[in-house]
Chains A and B, each alone.
Chain A
Amino acid sequence: MRAFCILAAAIPLLAQEPAKDQAPPAPATASAPAPDASSPVPATEQRFTGYIDLGYRWQTGVGGSLDTYRSIVNLGAGPKLLGADFSIVNPRHHLYDRIDVRAQSWGDEPSESLHVEVRKLKLYDFNADYRDFAYFNYLPSYADPLLSSNGLILNEQSFDTRRRIGTFSLDLLPQSWVVPYVAYEHDGGSGTGATAFVSDGDEFPVPYTMFDRMELYRGGVRIERKKFHVTLEAGGNTFGNNQQLYQSTGQTNYGNVLTPYLGQDLHLNNLIGSYGITGSSVYGKGLVTANLTSDIDVYGQFLYSEPKTDTSYSQYNTGNFVLQNQLLFYTGQQFLLAAAATNPHVTGSAGVEIRPFRRVRIVEDWMTDRLHVAGASNSSNLLTGHTPATQINAGLLSSIYTNYNQNEVHVFFELSKKFTLHGGYRYVWGNANNVVLPPSGLPTPDKGDLRRNVALGGITFRASQKLLLTGDVEGAASGGVYFRTSLYDYQKVRAQARYQAMDSLSFTVDFNLLNNQNPLPGVKYDFLAHQESLSMMWSPRFAKNWTIQGSYSRSSVYSNISYLEPEFLTAGQSLYRDDAHSATALITGNLKHYFGLAPTVTAGGSLFISSGSRPTEYFQPFAKFMLPVYKHVEWFGEWTYYGYGEAFYLYEGFRSHLVTTGVRLTR
């Protein structure tokens, strides 16, 4: 027995490093068990740690526009799993070392999420992420052509859908030099909405249902060595998108044109429109990084994808319609279409970082992105209700491509430990074309060239341990862009100062500016946007349990560009202004000395006030307390107010109080 004791006592000592003369002995090693070096999870760690928040939310009701409230906030009453964030560790390390779980806002909420991560060191790393979003949009004033004449009638572009996104990935042998991985992603949406069925001379608001889904599979391998790395990945997906427009028989829909057309009322009696879109895609990518020498790093990547779609569209409608270019009235239509499209897309990039001197770095990178979409459709359009029936067949080809190239060189110079300068030059060039054959109406000039020279510069100055100043400027002159509002002759400025006034008090000040001018005749684009921000964080020493955070931002956007009124080609002016103030604040306090309890209180919120083309106010104050009531139980309550108002669209304003209470179970 004594022998065993000697041996047992010797083993921990044997495992220690040989003592070094100059080093003091480590006091903890002999008495405390050393952490298990093979695992980041110490054996003494609790098996379950974290919290789960369960609660119930009341709503006072929405004052003002419920539709706008749902389009922007969309929080409702009822029981909720408000949040959860916990970890489960496995001291035996069988099957898994650790499981981390995060969940947020479950219970008929507009944004529900769940994240699960399961790991076993050096064996696997599994991640699952699931999100469920509610997309609701029904703004009374949006896309309502009758708004100005008839007031609120119908939003003709509304939807009430849910989108569910799941991502699952599995990495095998993490931390080894060869890591195979596989992943599966799902993205699906379904719901209902309103849209317009468009015919010549009139358009008819109709309901629709939609369903789309995308399944993506991918797998690859990462090879990581000290001097280089290679990642190879291949993937593919399947895609489906179905939409049905309908109007039941027995109803008459007069659409947006209520005046007779050449003496006849246009109306829709019955509609079945069905989109059936299927698709698939394959892609591959290869990524490489390497150290050629100790002073030269290189990287390169090649990405290729080729999604394809097939379309089957059918439409049957009855009513009274007109084909304007033939002044032909008809009462029935059968429209059938089959189409296909493919989109080969190649992207490549390469770069090098060279360090010729200790304080100088030269970075050069090159990138090309080449995208081409080719489509073809065949349609058959049968118009009935007159004699003889008219059959119109059409075949169309479409092509769109864009080639984008960019080359940039940057030089970084460390003047001192505190002062870094960098400057560079970027050249961007490319071309694009968009054509549908055979042409319709007047020939269109839908092609363009891109030529842009950009000068870059920046500075980083750490004036002291407390003050950091950074700034960047970018100035460009273009010889061609695609769109009238594209960046042409522009200047970008960004500056930031971060100041740690005290250990407990810090400030950040930002300034951003973008000035873009296109002086070409017929364009005359003038755009200026700037934003100034100040944020601070303060944990006052005289009130150690309190933290105050706040930010304020002022932004201004001015845009002025001429356009041509389509009817008479007279010049119009699109003038847009947006001068906005926004602020956020958060005060957190731990009231340890009150009534023998230790509640934590938080108050704050945000506000946004703007003037200009769409004056808007939006307020979101809130207050929250959390009170420990038992060893692992905390009671919390929260009040939130949402208030929204618009100067021009008063009827879209809303206000609502939400009160939530519940318990937090901790461990």
Chain B
Amino acid sequence: MRNIDLIVFCAAAFLAVGVASAQPALPKGYAGSEICQTCHEDIYNNFVKSPHWAIDSNGVHGFQGRSCEGCHGPAQTHTESGSAEDIRNPGKISSGAADKVCLECHLNQQTHIGRLTSSHMKDAVSCTACHKVHSAEPGGLVDRRPASINKQCGSCHNNVWSQFQKPYHHRLPEEAMSCVDCHNPHGSVRPSMTQTFAANDAGCLKCHGDKRGPFTFEHAALRYEGCGACHETHGSANPRMLTRQEVRYVCLECHANLPFPPSQTTKASIGVVPPSFHDLLSARYRNCTVCHQKIHGSYVDRNLLR
């Protein structure tokens, strides 16, 4: 019996040595994730449920067994001193430096294709401003509930959120939509970081597909300047979220160029004056879209009448 115990003990010891040697040795200066847990247990317990925990066992990024230090840097000095000065905190360094930490792994991903055009990048809004790196939320590092997204965006874009309090608005306060339905916070080829649809069309067309066309007869304003040429896209006090209180002003402000332009007016020339039978004293002609009902473009009529 004692011999069996001895054999088993030797086998266990052999296995222990083998397994221990299979664990990657920590580079100099690193402490390992489990050491971090000693003092930061709450964060650690949350972190093990987060998507980032995968790098603790995943060899792709080279942070096996030291996932905390993947972002916070070598922590051995910090574990000895206990001082916050001896550890990198991406939440408290400059946004450029914080982004560099995240982009160490995330730069070459589809999400960041528009990073260099993003106003968030230019305005020094770092990744950690929106992403909770230790988060164990179901959707990942950012809460994907529309209400949570809107609250998060609105905490900085307070002025935009106030526009949604106007009577005619996209349904964000009702939590039917979120900011990221229309905007890509990581950047986009389109103005105002708007989402794209079917490669390079405006993201508006995902929900307003009937406005996509191509129409046989296009309304140039829609193609050249987008929906924002006539609509306040967040919200407006004007019906249909128009930029002006009456339809005719929306139209006439552009449709006021004489048909034979001097060279000077070619600098802002698209949109000719309507023919003279449009008597604005008559109520019939004050609501342009009564007749020009296919105002976004027509499949049938060059004057957008049907």
Bound CA span A524–B263, Å: 16
The reply to whether B162 and A551 form a contact with Cβ atoms under 8 Å apart is: yes
Knowing A341-B213, A483-B221 touch, does A564 contact B116 (C-beta < 8 A)? no
What's the minimum C-beta distance from B209 to chain A, rounded to whole angstroms?
Answer: 4
**How many residues of A are counted as interface, with CB atoms below 8 angstroms from the partner's CB atoms?**
219
The number of residues on chain B lying at the interface, defined by a beta carbon within 8 Å of a beta carbon of chain A, is 153
CB–CB A340/B216 < 8 A: yes
A145:B287 contact, CB within 8 angstroms: yes
Chain A minimum-CB-distance residue to B214:
A343
Contact A72 B31 (CB under 8 A): no
Q: Which of A187, A273, A442, A574 contacts B259 (CB 8 A)?
A: A442
> Which B residues touch A144, using CB under 8 A?
287
Which of these, B107, B220, B240, B272, contacts A400 with CB under 8 Å?
B220
Known: A363-B116, A412-B96. A512 touches B159 (CB 8 A): yes
Among B165, B200, B293, the residue within 8 A (CB) of A369 is B200
Q: What A residues does B289 contact at CB under 8 A?
A: 143, 157
Contact pick for A40, options B51, B214, B225, CB 8 Å: B51
B83 close to chain A: CB less than 8 A: no
Residues of chain B contacted by A445 (CB below 8 angstroms): 257, 259-261, 265-266, 269-270, 272
Which segment of A58-66, A223-231, A659-667 sits at the interface? Answer: A223-231
Question: In the complex, which residue of chain B has the Cβ closest to the Cβ of A437?
Answer: B302
Q: Which residues of B contact A149 (CB under 8 A)?
A: 283
In the bound complex, CA of A291 to CA of B103 (Å)? 11
**How far does the Cβ of B5 sit from chain A's closest Cβ, in whole Å?**
6
**Among A25-33, A385-393, A594-602, A628-636, the stretch in contact with B:** A25-33
Pairwise interchain contact A87-B138, C-beta atoms closer than 8 A: yes
Are A18 and B244 interface neighbours, CB within 8 A?
Answer: no
The stretch that binds B, out of A246-254, A262-270, A297-305, is: A297-305
Supply 13 further A-B pairs (C-beta < 8 A) apart from A141-B239, A146-B283.
A26-B38, A29-B34, A137-B239, A139-B239, A165-B206, A229-B108, A275-B299, A281-B198, A347-B189, A353-B116, A375-B214, A480-B268, A484-B271
CB of B166 within 8 A of CB of A567, answer no
CB of A337 within 8 A of CB of B300, answer yes
For the complex formed, measure the closest distance between the CB of A512 and the CB atoms of chain B, giving whole angstroms.
5
Known: A28-B41, A460-B95. A239 touches B293 (CB 8 A): no
The number of residue pairs between A and B whose CB atoms lie closer than 8 Å in the complex comes to 521
Cα distance, A240 to B80, chains bound together (Å): 68
A342 within 8 A of B: yes
Instruction: Given A460-B123, A510-B159, check contact A195 B54 (CB 8 Å).
Output: no
The answer to whether B253 and A563 touch across the interface, beta carbons within 8 angstroms, is yes
- Pick from B144, B174, B207, B302: contact of A440, CB under 8 Å: B302
- Inter-chain CA distance A442–B125, complex, in Å, is 52
The 4 closest A-B pairs by CB, nearest first: A111-B176, A553-B162, A343-B214, A229-B108
Would you list 21 pairs from A and B whose C-beta atoms are within 8 A, ordered by A residue?
A22-B80, A24-B38, A26-B37, A38-B57, A72-B168, A113-B146, A133-B171, A143-B290, A165-B206, A189-B209, A283-B199, A289-B108, A291-B108, A351-B116, A414-B96, A482-B268, A483-B270, A484-B271, A523-B265, A531-B159, A584-B161
Closest CB of chain A to B47's CB: distance in Å? 10
Does any Cβ of B come within 8 Å of A46's Cβ?
no
B278 to A, closest residue via Cβ = A566
Tell me if A28 and B37 are in contact (CB < 8 A).
Answer: yes
A517 at the interface (CB under 8 A from B): no
Contact across chains for A42 and B199 when beta carbons are under 8 A apart:
no
Known A28-B41, A567-B279, A607-B165; contact A465-B92, beta-carbon cutoff 8 A: yes
